[in-house]
Structure 1
Amino acid sequence: MPMIDVYATAGTFTDKHQLARDLAATLMAIEEVPDIPMFRQNTAAFVHELPAGDLSNVDGASHHVRVQVLTNAGALDRDKQFAVVRRFTDMIADAAADPTLADRTWVLLTEAVPGGWGLAGHAHTNDELIAAARRQIAELQAAAGDR
């Protein structure tokens, strides 16, 4: 289940909650994971506001945004990597109502090692996550068949 962390100077975004929700939904769509509760409830974005002065490049500028995206290993092939970086960059600039922010938005893609994805007190491997998703899909299909 992907985690997204956005770091920006306080006041960069007017609606942080909507940005977080949109980033999470966009990542689910790009990854092409099933639209099931397991993924919907555990794909999340966190918007971290930094006080003025807590962010700087070498020149002293602090009007940058850093987006860290953590996925399970192999979740993003090369085309999906391009899609995440492009769409997240655009979404950040739009949410800040500042088209020039696209040039100052860093998107970092990171993969969790197998077993490096903890949820509900268990360090999951990719195979375990896939098995859990398949179980949930089967349960949802069975429940829909009972109606």
Structure 2
Amino acid sequence: MPIAIQLTPGLLTEAGQRSVFSRIAEVLLDVHGLKGNKFMSRTVIGHVTTLPEGAAYVEGKPQSLALIEIKVPSVTFPNREVQQAFVERVTDVIDELKAGPHPRNRTFVNVTYAVDGTWGIAGKAYTNADLGEGIATG
């Protein structure tokens, strides 16, 4: 499950910059009850990008911004409780790791779903059922 984290320069502490990806990946697995599942742990991939100074805009002005985007199979985030928990906890992670002032309303979380059967790993297109089997044996 690719996670793309885009941050403005200096938004996070140095230690926060190094740990933000693993913290958000942990939240993703935890809200789904999959923490420690080897199959799922291998599928959580991604990157952290620090945008150039002045390249992030909120309300048409350069401001601090944290944008967390995740692409997941369509069986993920099955109910409102899981959705809310993920968004709130990811926002909490940014708040905990920030280097200075950054209001919560400039942390955005977005989830995009893959079409069933188009979740590919190592050349294999997984269906939701295939993923369920991987999780069960994981």
TM-score band, normalised by shorter chain: 0.7 to 0.9
Deviation at residue 7 of structure 1 after TM alignment: 0.6
SS of 2:116 mapped into structure 1? coil
- Cross-structure match for 1:54: 55
Structure 2, unaligned stretches of length 5 or more? none
Deviations 1:53-92 (A, max 9, x none): 2222343123111111222113111111001111111111
Q: Which has the higher contact order (CA 8 A, sep 6+)?
A: 2
- Cross-structure match for 2:94: 92
1:32 aligns to 2:37 (yes or no): no
Contact 1:21/1:44 (8 A) holds in 2: no
Q: Partner amino acid for 2:28?
A: L
Contact 1:5/1:47 (8 A) holds in 2: yes
Deviation at residue 133 of structure 1 after TM alignment: 2.6
Normalising to structure 2: TM-score of the pair? Answer: 0.86
- The number of aligned residues is 135
For 2:101 and 2:31, the matched residues in 1 are separated by 23
Deviations 1:17-58 (A, max 9, x none): 311111101110001126222112222342111111222234
Larger radius of gyration: 1
For 1:100 and 1:62, the matched residues in 2 are separated by 9
Q: Partner amino acid for 2:50?
A: E
Percent of pairs with identical residues: 25
For 2:82 and 2:42, the matched residues in 1 are separated by 21
Contact 2:67/2:108 (8 A) holds in 1: yes
Contact 1:8/1:65 (8 A) holds in 2: yes
Please provide the CA RMSD for this pair: 1.8
For 1:85 and 1:132, the matched residues in 2 are separated by 25
- Cross-structure match for 1:106: 108
SS of 1:89 mapped into structure 2? helix
Normalising to structure 1: TM-score of the pair? Answer: 0.81
Structure 1, unaligned stretches of length 5 or more? 138-147
